[in-house]
Structure 1
């Protein structure tokens, strides 16, 4: 594939990187084209909180000079990407979807931003999100629109990253996930997303929602693209003592290893009880695809997660109250009602109740960890129902069962910290994308990349593009 035979903006990150490496494309031309597309489309899609056009072009010109001089840094060099607007960017606004932080300009870059820049990536802008990375956009912010159909949900909280990657407004993005915030938007917009192991990627310079649940990770169009981004941003960080020590695997190399003899666990009951027919069909097709690739399918019983789902809300609320104590309740009037109510709930929870939640989290983590003695990967839905319309989303506050269903397959893995990969796997009758998840043991991202890349070598769901 070359730039003349495919739409430039829909090339995968690895494809445009190869064109740049071969000097068939220039970073300046690619970045300019990306900024033009953002200007043409994003007034409708609203995926960007801010565009850093002047800085991006300066970075592109510097990258072009370096590459021409033979100083090629690798597959991110000269490639336009974007970051969720809770990642600090030095001297540029970082609002985290909040009115209270609309004038905040950090004095330094987040570690993930610095590492992208060190790899030569071009940061074209900051992507929109829900208020404080919780469940609703601030009332003063117009939410991003799903490029497949504007009447459907974009997923939260990484709404902007999902829309921008899907619509060809960046070649990859950095997002975050506290209860499903990489996986819901990836599934809703038909892109690939990875929630790494908790601590695999530094959280320094990332606005917190709930520190022990927050995972920073990449969203892109393919698993190979995810591997490139993950390899650039993962690793220990002296500015974040919770970042995991140890060397970072060659994730891109893992993408070419195939998956012969890998064991994939399936809990048939958990994957079918209360799961609609179209989602079950996506799962069944994925299972057969992995089987054809040489995987062994293993029947398992997954631990009951009903208590973990019930615990996630108060756990998140307590930690959100801590994260916002400098501005809440002192500037309460600047908060939207949803985030304010969560913080209030966290301030009201007793220490003993919170401790009980932490103990139950440890127990669940141990039970899930034990499963990976028998399997290499777990396959589950992202959600048990077809893509949701905005009309349905507006009723979530009146439908606790619907909320529990939405969280059923996502928030348990924030509670345990296990890495998960969301892959496009099919479409609904209404033509909306549907994703599924693979889960691995702690620090098993290379295994996820290996399996996900194998899946995408013989499927084309990730190459479908929205009608924009």
Structure 2
């Protein structure tokens, strides 16, 4: 893996920091433990990498920000500590957007999508998506505040889990939006993602918002299939802004699920237009709170995209925030009601399939374009529900297209089971971005 990173990452820029010395030491330790009969589980000895917003005691954590380059925490983030406890080898820290928002700091290098250099690599967790797709790690950790596990998973042909809010500890993670942020795995298959989620999920005394619910064995029932499950689809919701490739991917996934024995049920999804606008305001205020020690006092150290976003908070009143809180609770209740007759909901990841980087920047200039990017992601950060993103198609240019399954709170085991069933019956997750990224 280290040789592969050295040979290939100069063109892809997925890594912010390669931790070669510590990775070799961890690999040697894993070998010794295995030789002594001390296997720690399915991640023992597996080379993984983590997004550069998670603290590591032995490497800097910049969170995509020039202002934090060189910052070293005195401890590992809980997620990193749990991966290491599970025997994983941490190869390094993966590149990301500034502060986990939408744009890259001008001093940071943008990761390159290995499928197509012109294609969008996804947003905040782009380094995680690129490294995993290009075979520069066997799995990675991303974070998702409005789509940043789902977008790069879809863009790079990966499987990603955005867990229930609080299912995975956020201790030692730079914040974007505290009540929206989730941390989860990005892998090549649902089974790999289930193994990683099982290692990192659970209560944490260092994070009082981490849920106390017991963590199931996500691998134990993963072969249970989908026969008898009721899978919801929302035609009117999808008709609001999906291109043909996004619709085709959903239709293909729907037909596959039906073939595997699931019942497809049409539902009416609640109007999400206001909650999408509320997401922007809420996230801006929460981000401004986190950055209060350095912004606006050190504005010149920030890139224009993040600083413009943080400026939104100055015009938001307490009355505005109360309205958002009330509408958020109401929307969550309406979504729960929509799930009353279904087990999972099948949706696009985004309305724009395989966009170029230029296309995303153009879309971001209009409210409609932003809505088409975020309509199917942000609502589930506002409700806190878990999702799994699965590769399910390709554009005419060969860029990956993903779909997502959405579950009820803490229903990650069912999401893993459904994703695995689909992947046993299809090969989208086995496709790689050309000979240069093959193993």
Q: If the TM-score is normalised by the length of the shorter chain, which range does it land in?
A: over 0.9
User: Which residue does the alignment assign to 2:165?
Assistant: 198
Distance 1:97 1:162 in 2: 15
Cα distance per residue 1:214-247 (max 9 Å; x no partner): 0111100000000000000000000000000021
Counterpart among 393, 408, 416 of residue 441 in structure 1: 408
8 Å CA contact 2:242–2:372 kept in 1: the answer is no
Distance 2:241 2:266 in 1: 19
User: Which residue does the alignment assign to 1:427?
Assistant: 394
Distance 2:289 2:244 in 1: 41
Cα distance per residue 1:418-466 (max 9 Å; x no partner): 1011000011001000000100000010110111000000000000000
User: Which residue does the alignment assign to 1:390?
Assistant: 357
Cα distance per residue 1:153-176 (max 9 Å; x no partner): 001110000000000000011110
User: Which residue does the alignment assign to 1:121?
Assistant: 88
C-alpha RMSD of matched pairs (Å): 0.9
For structure 2, the 5+ residue unaligned runs are none
Q: Name whichever of 277-286 and 115-124 sits farther off.
A: 277-286
C-alpha deviation, 1:400, in angstroms? 2.3
C-alpha deviation, 1:324, in angstroms? 0.5
Matched, 1:143 2:125: no
Matched, 1:319 2:286: yes
Alignment of 1:30-49 (within 5 A): 34-49=1-16
8 Å CA contact 1:265–1:299 kept in 2: the answer is yes
User: Which residue does the alignment assign to 1:239?
Assistant: 206
C-alpha deviation, 1:397, in angstroms? 4.1
C-alpha deviation, 1:103, in angstroms? 1.7
Distance 2:329 2:93 in 1: 35
For structure 1, the 5+ residue unaligned runs are 1-33
User: Aligned to 2:340, what secondary structure does the other structure show?
Assistant: coil
C-alpha deviation, 1:320, in angstroms? 0.3
Alignment of 1:150-161 (within 5 A): 150-161=117-128
The size of the alignment, in residue pairs, is: 435
Matched, 1:363 2:326: no
User: Which residue does the alignment assign to 2:321?
Assistant: 354
User: Aligned to 2:403, what secondary structure does the other structure show?
Assistant: strand
8 Å CA contact 1:179–1:410 kept in 2: the answer is yes
C-alpha deviation, 1:136, in angstroms? 0.3
User: Aligned to 1:160, what secondary structure does the other structure show?
Assistant: helix
C-alpha deviation, 1:254, in angstroms? 2.5
8 Å CA contact 1:190–1:462 kept in 2: the answer is yes
Distance 1:347 1:414 in 2: 23
Distance 2:328 2:105 in 1: 30
User: Which residue does the alignment assign to 2:345?
Assistant: 378
User: Aligned to 1:76, what secondary structure does the other structure show?
Assistant: coil
C-alpha deviation, 1:346, in angstroms? 1.2
Alignment of 1:170-209 (within 5 A): 170-209=137-176
Distance 2:52 2:104 in 1: 13
TM-score by length of 1: 0.92
C-alpha deviation, 1:353, in angstroms? 0.3
Distance 1:347 1:173 in 2: 35
Matched, 1:415 2:382: yes
Distance 2:300 2:243 in 1: 41
8 Å CA contact 1:180–1:407 kept in 2: the answer is yes
User: Which residue does the alignment assign to 2:45?
Assistant: 78
